Amino acid sequence: MDAFFASVELIARPDLRGRPVIVAGASGRGVVVAATYEARSFGVHAAMPVARAQRLCPSAVMIEPHRDAYTRVSAGVMELLRDVTPVVEQVSIDEAFLDLTGALKRLGPAAGIGQAVRQAVRQRFSITCSAGIGRSKSVAKIASEQAKPDGLLEVPAAATLDFLSPLPMSALWGLGPKTASVLAGLGMATIGDLASAPDGMVRRAIGQAAAAHLLALARGLDDAPVEPRQGEKSVGAEETFPHDLPWGEELSREVLRMADKAAHRLRQAELLCRTVAVKLRTADFKTHTRSRTLATPTDQTKVINEAAQGLARSLWRPGSNVRLVGVRLENLAARSGQPVQLTLDEDGWEGAVGSGIDRVADEIRRRFGDGSVTAGTLIP
């Protein structure tokens, strides 16, 4: 998808199309979630501090992120892709690989399939996407980047090396900055430079495994299959505060707020988690994380919050204030079976699944909005 989060926001704000738009939290202290291409032309990009983005593009319109909308549109797009072929590997909320081998006889040439998919995404979801077609995942990935925004590029198998060779090394999928720096020190500026380099020299510079992988990519020899994957790897929520918080009731409430959001999203996806992880970013911009694996999988806010509170307390250091807190739920599995009767002892709470209180709260939120019901301690 092209500038996916920003594009989804513009579905509800078509008056902002063509203008620089930045998606970020309201506090102005966080980082950019997404930016339209108009904002990117000023140098704005995702993960940039909001304050810097505003300096680069003071005319940009700021919009708060709506993550449920991104999840909803992503699910619709992925369902559309699986109508083309069941061999779909979703690699992120806005990106996927398709193996078209079995679809060519039924739907015609790959370029025609790509154009039809792009047109269907535009018509159904009012957003655009770019498509790359190649003999391998890595070539298709690079081609899709070259086609952005709102384009399609097909690289015939026989033209793979001609396509790759002049591209800068940074275009190579999966090349990290440290490895790129080492290779640049050897005089390699393009993918073609790497492809023609002696194998032994590359192995000595970056190690045997990394050399074998990157040389194969640079020479168009990637044979990694498209691997359909089901389900999310993790679910979470995090927030950067308008002002740094010391440890105390206010920070504890924010941990609860993030645990509540994460648990709600977990239940929406009909999943259970086995691991709870907490992230704290202190005023000096250092990030601290810790996780705990539960005795049994759960989707309950109470259980998740109790684990998160303990983790947060263990991460806090005297004299340090916190600017960001996040709660992430991992080791996910599909929810199965019927809700169990709760008990009041601690073991019973941790082992319980499908709390009636949580389910009623979820239904109220679904009907009346996310802010319609919350924990009493979160009420100002």
The span from the CA of 358 to the CA of 377, in Å, is 16
Is residue 95 among the annotated active site residues? yes
Collapsed DSSP state (helix, strand, coil) of residue 296? strand
In 259-320, which ranges are E strands? Answer: 271-282, 287-298
Helix ranges restricted to H, 188-283: 191-195, 199-206, 208-218, 249-268
Task: Determine the residue type at 258.
Answer: M
- Using alpha carbons only, what angle is made at residue 282 by residues 310 and 319, rounded to the nearest 5 degrees? 80
| Cβ atoms of residues 264 and 360 within 8 Å | no
| Catalytic residue (one of 38, 79, 89, 95) | 95
Nearest CA among 130, 129, 135, 137 for reference residue 162: 135
Tracing tokens 């495994």 back to the chain, one arrives at: 209
Paired residues of 23 in beta bridges: 34, 63
The span from the CA of 207 to the CA of 116, in Å, is 43
Residues designated as active site:
95
